[in-house]
Structure 1
Amino acid sequence: MDIKELQKIMQENGVVGAGGAGFPTYMKLTDKAEIILMNCAECEPLLKLHRQLLEKHAYEIMKTFDMVAETVGASQAIIGIKKSYVQTINALNQHIEEFPRVKMHLLDEVYPMGDEVVLIYEATGRVVRPGGLPIEQGVAVFNVETLYNVYRAVEEHKPVTCKYVSVVAEVENPVTVKVPLGCTLEEVVAQAGGTTVKDPVYFVGGPMMGRIGNGSDPVTKTTNAILVLPKDHVIVMKKQRTSSIDLKRAASICCHCHTCTDLCPRHNLGHPIDPAMFMMAASNQDFRNVNPYINSAFCSSCGVCEMYACPQSLAPRTLLADMKGGLRKAGIRPPQGVQPKPVQESREYRKVPEERLMARLGLTRYDKDAPLQEELVNVSKVKVLLSQHIGAPAQAIVNVGDMVTEGQMIAQPAQGLSVGIHATISGKVTEVTDRHVVIARN
């Protein structure tokens, strides 16, 4: 199979990054890739689905990984996996001899190991420049579920219609379930046997980089986990704070200890992001040096500074994100061609142990098994978003009243960066807008 053929399969079948921002996977295929990486670092605490999926479908995913490497002409295919995922490693070892190009790189249990810039350095020793793309270093990164979706598209001719989601924390039975795209968060949480607290908050994604969602929100191709938390949990409280008050708190109590910068993963890889300098400048409204503001564009929003490092419980990540958004709105692009400084010699001693991170965030008691269930959850209605990926939203090709079957394309890729969207259940189209298609089961 050549690159263009595989790209077409991925685009038409709606394969995008199954986590993060949902970058269309077909655009990562290039003959410039010398190394391809499989990300099984489970970046956030409590998330389990990638290690579970890789253990369950080790052969299929490794076969696809090797096929992608052969298609792009990569000389190495490296599985980045935390050394604590013993069961998954054992499953991989049963088949790895069949794929001479594939090898494992065992990772420490630290956060944010799943950040692709961090993962690339750990597995290859290569540093992606600030604001740059991995392919500039000859590397392409794919996560586990994305590769499984490629397998289903290539081998089974099935588009992306469902998502694996871990439901954890304040639920009766933590579980990882397979649900149709477009079902609601409430329907997913119900699969865990109900909540165990009054007025629960649904935290979508990981505890470090996730967001507060509503029960009626639809599941998308990037929904990895739902953390059900009490409304007074520290993570919820931090997410609900007001930036204007956070800025005043910084002006009042920031002690300029520099810990936020000392522990910043991107700073330690030589990127010019300096949360401490930004906090000092922003809290004092000091604009004599604009670099701390401009360099906010290089923040990965991992949250180490805000959720772990700061002894005063200030909010550097949130304020940096506000600054990034303001710069984008003003049409100010990040500096181009910035080269990283040498990797900090102290980096090895400034990694954040995941066990300690969970303890600090009050999550240790939620670190329980969430068994993977392969049976697809049955729902009566779905609201399928036409933009579940970076790039242009797909364009609907169905009308109200149309009968559709599961897997049928309901929105075609738009011009430019885009992928197809498919019916996730069989039924009748009841609503079509430029943002979504609603399907009711017969």
Structure 2
Amino acid sequence: MEIKELADLLQKNGVVGAGGAGFPTYAKLDKRAETILMNCAECEPLLKLHRQLLEKHADEIVSAFHLVMETVGAKEAIIGIKKEYKKTIEALKGVIPNYSGVRLGLLDEVYPAGDEVVLIYEVTGKVVRPGGLPIESGVIVFNVETLYNLSRAMHKSEPVVDKLVSVVAEVNRPVTLRMPLGATVEDAVRLAGGAKIKNPVYFVGGPMMGNIMPGSTPITKTTNAILVLPENHYLVERKRAKPEIMLKRAAASCCQCSMCTDLCPRHMLGHPIQPHLFMRAATCKDVQDPSIFVDTFFCCSCGLCELYSCFQGLSPRTLMAEYKNGLRAAGVKPPVVQAAPVPRERELRKAPMKRLMARLDLVKYNVPAPLEDKCVGVKSVKIPLRQHIGAPAVAAVKDGDVVKRGQTIAEPANGLSVAIHASICGRVREANANYIIIDSTENQA
């Protein structure tokens, strides 16, 4: 298959990165690629969907992975997967011999193994330039579910209309559900047996990099997890803290121990990010060295510094994000720099996932969340037209139109964009530049 043919298929069927920022997959295809990676590190604590999906659909996903390798002309295709995902590894070993050039890249059970810069180094030994793209190092990284969506589009003519979501923590039935796009967080929690607690807080996206969201928040192409937590949980209290209070706390108690920097996964790959120096400069309003603030661009926001490293409970990640957003708003761009050599002590400074979960008070929630692979039914959906990096899709339906599941309801905009499709059969209640609401016309739950 030619790159343009595959790119058109991906764009037409709305395939984007199924996690993170949702980068349109068609735009990743590049003849410069020497290596392509499948990310099955399952980076965030408690998430289980990627390993479950890959175990169940190993041949379909590896076949799609191999097709991408051949299309871009890469020399090898590596599946980055943690050693402890033994059932998934066993399933992969049964199909990999059928695909030349594909191999496993086994990872330790540490955080953030799924950060693509960390993943690339672990399985290839290559360091991505600070602020650079993986393709500069001859690498493209794909999410497991993204490749599954490619397989569905190619072999079943099915566009992306649903999303796997792990619904865990304080629910009666921890589970991984296939939710129609545009269904709500509350729909997912209800289908997981409902919350076990009063006044639940919905942590969407994972405990380290997710955010507190209202129950009405729609499921999108990048929604991986919903954690249902009590109001007084450690993560909820940390997330609700105000930046101005965080800054005052840092001014009062940051002792410059440098633990946040010493354990920073990007710093340990030679990137010029030093959270402890930022904390000192920010709290003292010291602007003698502007590079300390500009270097916040190289923070990947993994949250390890504030949720694991700092024994004072300070918040480098959150404060750096505030400064980074301010720099972007002011038109400042990250400088072009090269990574320093990777220090030998890096291997001794990885954060074990078990210890991280203990710090976050999540161990009691680390229970099975079985995969239910059939898409569930809902009464209505509110489908955002911006579910990916780039330009939002342009509505192609109007109020009152009757649509079928899988029908294109929004076309790709000019520039970086993909199509969006109806996730249920129904009638369009409202269509505008931001979202499309569809009410079901079927007998759905």
Query: TM-score, normalization: structure 1?
Result: 0.99
Structure 2 Cα separation of the partners of residues 281 and 426 of structure 1: 55
Please list every run of 5 or more consecutive structure 2 residues that lacks an aligned counterpart in the other structure.
Answer: none
Give the aligned partner of residue 399 of structure 2.
400
Q: C-alpha displacement at 1:6, in angstroms?
A: 0.2
SS of the equivalent of 2:266 reads helix
Asked if 1:422 corresponds to 2:421, the answer is yes
What residue in structure 1 maps to residue 348 of structure 2? 349
State the distance in 2 between where 1:426 and 1:193 align.
25
Amino acid at match of 2:176: T
Give the Å deviation of 1:197. Answer: 1.2
Structure 1 CA distance for aligned equivalents of residues 164 and 16 of structure 2:
14
Secondary structure of 1:179's match? strand
CA positional deviation for 1:94: 0.9
| 1:210 aligned partner | 210
Partner residue in 1 for 2:389: 390
Matched, 1:315 2:324: no
Three-state SS of the structure 1 residue aligned to 2:168 is strand
Deviation, structure 1 residue 365: 0.6
Which aligned pairs between 1:337-376 and structure 2 lie closer than 5 A?
338-376=337-375
Aligned pairs (5 A) from 1:62-211 = 62-211=62-211
Partner of 2:43: 43
State the percentage of identical aligned residues.
61
Provide, for residues 299-354 of structure 1, a one-character-per-residue CA deviation record: whole Å limited to 9, x for no partner. Answer: 00000100000010000000000001000111111112x10000121100000000
1:240 aligns with 2:240: yes
2:7 matches 1:14:
no
SS in structure 1 at match of 2:171: coil
Q: CA RMSD in A?
A: 0.5
How far, CA to CA, are the matches of 1:268 and 1:93 in structure 2? Answer: 32
What is aligned with 2:412? 413
What letter matches 1:423 in structure 2? A
Superposed displacement of residue 288, structure 1? 0.8
Equivalent residues, number:
441
Alignment correspondent of 1:436: 435
Q: Alpha-carbon deviation of 1:18?
A: 0.2
Task: State how far apart, in whole Å, the 1-side matches of 2:435 and 2:343 are.
Answer: 46
Q: Cα distance, 1:240 vs. partner?
A: 0.3
The yes-or-no answer on 1:299 pairing with 2:316 is no
Q: Structure 1 stretches of 5 or more lacking a match?
A: none
Q: Could you list the per-position Cα deviations for residues 195-227 of structure 1 after superposition, in whole angstroms to 9, with x for gaps in the alignment? A: 111111000011000000111110000000000
State the Cα distance separating 1:150 from its structure 2 match. 0.4
Rounded to whole Å, the distance in 1 between the matches of 2:330 and 2:343 is: 33
- One-letter identity of the residue aligned with 1:326: G
For 2:296 and 2:63, the matched residues in 1 are separated by 40
What code does the residue aligned with 2:386 have?
S
Corresponding residue of 1:327:
327
State the one-letter code of the partner of 2:428.
V
- 1:376 shift after superposition: 1.2
Residue 276 (structure 2) aligns with: 276
Per the normalisation by structure 2, the TM-score is 0.99
Matching residue of 1:231: 231
Offset of residue 54 of structure 1: 0.1
